[in-house]
Amino acid sequence: MPRPSATADTSGRILDIAERLLQTRGYNAFSYADIARSLHITKASLHYHFPTKGELGKRLIERYQQSFLRALAEIDGLSKDAPEKLRRYIGLYTEVLRNDRMCLCGMLAAEYATLPKPMKSELKHFFDENERWLIAVLEDGRISKRLRFSGAAREMAQLLVGSLEGAMMLARSYGDVARFEAVAERLLAGLGLGK
């Protein structure tokens, strides 16, 4: 297999560091100087790969979304059962929280008003894709009578995403993943699922 170029490798390392900083501090709480210091490179080097912080942020969202969509496709491949899919979906959030991080897009949503316009568009796209996937799972679950809820599947999908993102923030504030897990279980119980 061909080896990645040094440029691609450096870009990947920049994205890795920036993702960690964003998920732990937030977009506005890290700078190119933080990344340069971590990688022992110059800020000019960073600007070569990502001319602006907005471009770096947009690329971070795109990469995070691609990874998340692969995880959703994997969930689809592992099970056809709507309740199992929802449990695995919640597991994605739980895993991020257990690694002392927040959902990258959840962190960005908290800073939405200050984000560059291209990042805002990508951020909405991430949440739209989450809702699209959840709507399909919820509708399948309702048809198969494995899930029970009133109202539109779209509204329930929005409730799930909003509740999980909010539960992550509060669990992080308390340093207690169990708080998140309790909210997630309550959400599942509201769909007719017990432990």
pLDDT tens, the chain, 195 aa long:
444 445 568 999 999 999 999 999 999 999 999 999 999 999 999 999 999 999 999 999 999 999 999 999 999 999 999 999 999 999 999 999 999 999 999 999 999 999 999 999 999 999 999 999 999 999 999 999 999 999 999 999 999 999 999 999 999 999 999 999 999 999 999 999 866
The CATH number of the domain where 179 resides is what?
Answer: 1.10.357.10
Cβ neighbour number for residue 145 with a 10 Å cutoff: 9
Q: Is residue 23 part of a domain?
A: no
What's the pTM? 0.91
Q: Which two tokens stand for residue 30?
A: 């890290």
Q: Is residue 127 part of a domain?
A: yes
Q: Is residue 70 part of a domain?
A: yes
Q: For residue 37, what pLDDT is reported?
A: 95
Angle at 186 between CA 160 and CA 102, to 5 degrees: 55
Q: Is residue 66 part of a domain?
A: yes
Q: Where are the alpha helices (DSSP H) in the chain?
A: 6-25, 32-39, 43-49, 53-78, 82-98, 104-110, 117-143, 153-174, 177-189
Domain total for the chain? 1
Q: For residue 4, what pLDDT is reported?
A: 45
Instruction: Please name the residues in contact with 128: beta carbons below 8 A apart, sequence gap of 6 or more.
Output: none
Q: Is residue 12 part of a domain?
A: no
Q: Which two tokens stand for residue 95?
A: 């895993």
Contact assessment for residue 167 and residue 154, using Cβ atoms and an 8 Å cutoff: no
Q: For residue 193, what pLDDT is reported?
A: 87
Contact assessment for residue 83 and residue 185, using Cβ atoms and an 8 Å cutoff: no
Q: Is residue 177 part of a domain?
A: yes
Q: For residue 6, what pLDDT is reported?
A: 53
Q: Is residue 151 part of a domain?
A: yes
Q: For residue 25, what pLDDT is reported?
A: 96
Contact assessment for residue 138 and residue 149, using Cβ atoms and an 8 Å cutoff: yes
Q: Is residue 134 part of a domain?
A: yes
Q: Which residue's structure tokens are 């257990």?
A: 98
Domain that holds residue 165: 54-189
